[in-house]
Structure 1
């Protein structure tokens, strides 16, 4: 069975071997074992059900959360010569009826549907007439109330499965699931714990950075201008910020698009098409953008604001480098962003217990911005995964080689002040007491009489607050989960107060690791763009950046050599191979290439 899967992988998708976890998941599906797969964004989740779909006798139903995501995947499958279609609100009733009829007759190997379709009993009755062999649940974290994008309609999936005459094999896939979310997915879809495949959350090709204390617009403008040919996404927290930043970039001569829920569907579709067809290089958007595309050549993702939680951040940052090429993820942080997210939590319709969970997640996101641990390690361990190395060696914290400063004395002063304030006050008031502030509240509460009052009078309140943030991120202090949190101490402070352990801190730095594209890569990008325009498909559907990079490395001069390039399948070789071979041959005439 796996040999046949390997053959399909090469024939239809152009790859010689499976990525980590794919083979194990595919084997379990082929053995008719219900499976939960946790693979990082860009880890090849879709192949985990697309390959078995071609080996199974019936139809594979794919439950996908976004219309644009369905269209994108169906377009790619059809380009590879695989029969696939989707059913959603973007098609009229006549087309819907025709596609359903074709599905019943087994015309398609893969049928994509939105989870909301399951809310209609008539549609569930239609599904019972289709010979379904596999049900693939994409973005499976949406089924969990503990997930960051819970959708009630996902809870109807198992009800639909139970209504089928023959139980299909179920595979659930996601990139962002904490241990509690994994357990909830398994429970909702009746997947045995032992059938869980977790490949890890590490993305080795991504470089993570947190930028603090810089003017955001100036930073973004310079960053984009330094990378004129690179594709990127800039996420902002609100529609207003998206509009303002988009207008700013246009005024500076940057070809940028914008995307948020306040735009019409036509405007959003146009912006998305402009981006994936490389008419524009930069997209400014709320988190509504990104899930619906499978663009593999996004070289950077910048967060203009602090995301609401780590799950959202990693999913959005993970839009970068899906082709495995080196890419950057940068978060621009200011304390105001925390207040904005707290405001959004308070304005939500969540009950109090749910709000408490959101505050806790927000604090973990804030800690990410203040920690001096390896940023990749922080993310991986947040999702409950073990990080074997001490550092990733590429993130901002790991590449900052400046000496650490001993702040043990300052830390002891902060710990003592928090204790003497009975762990009942917020970070701001603690900082004011240590600074020796004479504001009205401190005087009224007689806090100026504390022995720790004014111990850090030579520092600014902002510096002291930043120190407290650092100590929270490093686990010495903790905050209550509320709109106005109070700061307390953890057991980790004991050895520090006893003088048995020191505390060190260093200032943060940022380092960009992306290099300019080489000449041949730019030539091949031009060829790809010409083909994409001619065939009216996004460039990455022709070939991904990763495939073009492999062409640059191998410089194939005939069709046999071209088939050894990662991502070049037989069907695409027949369609596009000659044009790329001609471009490579022409390039080699003008340069000396080592043999």
Structure 2
């Protein structure tokens, strides 16, 4: 290894990007790739993955090629690099022929540091010929989990990226993702021919994110209470399963004074792009979206991510919630979850056209997600355990802050299983619960179920309590839902020992949904929020307004100019010269030249 490489890497980090030191495994990864090594990097969102290929691309001869599926965000990524003085461009279908020709010339002549390209574009013969005729510093394959057919975000074009190993054997490759369990990790290495690559696996923990899962009553009303109580003027993302629900939820929030925008694949592309641009460039906007939205979103000040429907897997949940708090400041991951979510997800798996092996994998992933929702212990411990990481209770999730009450649920579960059996496993949840509670309905009379021995044996519990018990019994694998026969409930083989008294069942006590109360401070473990004095807060607000105007003039998102954490540090430091400003995290040489005088003038004016 070049002995001066470490010093040159640190110099790039400080002078170009304005960071005083590498974090975690960044230094090792940068030096390994810059020296010509291949790497597979797993690092949580907000952990600084992009620096792991950007700095090696600047250190090596030639152009760094970044393979990314995020055509809609390439312009913002290029703009952000331009702000720090890195020569970057992209090649994608949004460009004119003349513009593409201009970028290709820059790649060929080496007058550019980084070029972003979608995998579909990379696979064209024209693009491969271009790279063969150019000096390539490295290939960075971003969002590498997209290669996994078992994953939550499979993109078929990613499988073909093994061609890079075949056609460019001497060019180092770095594959990066924030989300991959052991199986997905192995598949990435196999399909991208990175079997000999060095693997760098960072902790999956995002200690600044508070995880909270609540019993779903009126989901939208609960969401509104959560936002207004905890995050009144913050930017956030709300995920819904269907396009219709996205539209309805966005309308509901707007009607209740929350600035919300919809985003889903069924919208016109110009409208969808405009909404994404507004979310990235304006403050205090809530994006209500399907999972079509979010990958690659670099907005650092997203303070909350909410789910109104159950995600299909822990990978999906982790990826989506990880879009909150990229700046390291306290953030929330909130979900409302109920029986219908479980039933719907099971039905979607049963009715999918996938083969039985794939359905089994989907069912296992859903079971793990249900286990996270129903856990009686720390959610963070359960979440990290899924990715093979051991941890201790965090003290910053709902089950740590307000431990759930558990109870021996064997008898009520036996009553439930008996009722399902006595109605011949032919009826859906509502009818079974009515039988248990002894409700008089026309249907119960029609089928003479009021004469059954189980009729009314659960009258001491409310419908909501029985739904919670049923949901947990389904999550435990004691009951399945037959979607071919009117969503009828059926017993599994696992129900037999419970019915016969040979196995006990521990359940979570039902908690009636209540109006959101302000939770204890969401300050994170390992992170101390920078408290500002009154005068410092005034400087911070002034700097934010300056940033809004500057970003508008440059036609870039505000965080591309400076993130909140940098503005807070400036407000604390109160630099009165360029030399003093130079030491602030996030202020590289290019930004110092571009904005230093204006910032110092603001500080002097307010001091």
Superposition TM-score, scaled by structure 2 size: 0.84
1:537 equivalent to 2:556? Answer yes
Find the partner of 2:200 among 197, 200, 205.
197
Q: Structure 1: 5+ residue runs without aligned partners?
A: 590-595
1:22 equivalent to 2:26? Answer yes
Equivalent-residue separation in structure 1 for 2:589 and 2:290 (angstroms): 38
Find the partner of 1:112 among 116, 141, 145.
116
Q: Name the counterpart of 2:577.
A: 558
Equivalent-residue separation in structure 1 for 2:508 and 2:557 (angstroms): 49
Judge conservation of contact 1:68–1:292 (CA < 8 Å) in 2. Answer: no
Shift of 1:243: 1.5
Judge conservation of contact 1:200–1:385 (CA < 8 Å) in 2. Answer: no
Query: Tell me, what secondary structure is at the counterpart of 2:388?
Result: coil
Query: Tell me, what secondary structure is at the counterpart of 2:194?
Result: coil
Find the partner of 2:460 among 458, 467, 474.
458
Q: What is the correspondence of 1:427-466 to structure 2 with a 5 Å cutoff?
A: 428=429, 456-460=458-462, 462-466=464-468
Cα 1:170–1:500 change in 2 (3 A) is same
Judge conservation of contact 1:134–1:168 (CA < 8 Å) in 2. Answer: yes
Query: Tell me, what secondary structure is at the counterpart of 2:89?
Result: strand
- Structure 1 residues 444-479: Cα deviation after superposition (integer angstroms, max 9, x where no partner): 9999988x8876442245423423544665x6x556
Shift of 1:50: 0.5
1:44 equivalent to 2:48? Answer yes
Query: Tell me, what secondary structure is at the counterpart of 1:173?
Result: strand
Query: Tell me, what secondary structure is at the counterpart of 1:112?
Result: strand
Q: Name the counterpart of 2:61.
A: 57
Q: Name the counterpart of 1:373.
A: 377
Cα 1:540–1:504 change in 2 (3 A) is closer
Judge conservation of contact 1:345–1:355 (CA < 8 Å) in 2. Answer: yes
Q: Name the counterpart of 1:103.
A: 107
Q: Name the counterpart of 1:593.
A: none
Shift of 1:320: 0.9
Find the partner of 2:190 among 187, 197, 201.
187
Find the partner of 1:286 among 263, 271, 290.
290
Q: Name the counterpart of 1:393.
A: 395
Query: Tell me, what secondary structure is at the counterpart of 1:397?
Result: helix
Judge conservation of contact 2:65–2:117 (CA < 8 Å) in 1. Answer: yes
Q: What is the correspondence of 1:335-346 to structure 2 with a 5 Å cutoff?
A: 335-342=339-346, 344-345=348-349
1:360 equivalent to 2:364? Answer yes
- Structure 1 residues 28-83: Cα deviation after superposition (integer angstroms, max 9, x where no partner): 21232211111111111111101111111122111101112322221111111111
Query: Tell me, what secondary structure is at the counterpart of 1:329?
Result: strand
Q: Name the counterpart of 2:137.
A: 133
Q: Name the counterpart of 2:218.
A: 215
Let me know the Cα RMSD of the aligned residues. 3.7
Shift of 1:198: 0.8
Equivalent-residue separation in structure 1 for 2:365 and 2:311 (angstroms): 10
1:576 equivalent to 2:595? Answer yes
Bigger mean CA offset, 564-573 vs 11-20: 564-573
Q: Name the counterpart of 1:149.
A: 153
Aligned residues: 580
- Structure 1 residues 415-456: Cα deviation after superposition (integer angstroms, max 9, x where no partner): 9869999x9999949867866789989999999988x88764
Q: Name the counterpart of 2:73.
A: 69
Judge conservation of contact 2:417–2:491 (CA < 8 Å) in 1. Answer: no
Q: Name the counterpart of 2:526.
A: none
Equivalent-residue separation in structure 2 for 1:255 and 1:395 (angstroms): 27
Superposition TM-score, scaled by structure 1 size: 0.86
Equivalent-residue separation in structure 1 for 2:79 and 2:118 (angstroms): 17
Equivalent-residue separation in structure 1 for 2:451 and 2:185 (angstroms): 49
Equivalent-residue separation in structure 2 for 1:291 and 1:454 (angstroms): 50
Find the partner of 1:33 among 26, 31, 37.
37
1:407 equivalent to 2:408? Answer yes
Shift of 1:480: 6.5
- Structure 1 residues 160-217: Cα deviation after superposition (integer angstroms, max 9, x where no partner): 33123x5211111101111100000011122236711111211011111112234233
1:174 equivalent to 2:177? Answer yes
Q: Structure 2: 5+ residue runs without aligned partners?
A: 524-528
Equivalent-residue separation in structure 1 for 2:390 and 2:381 (angstroms): 6
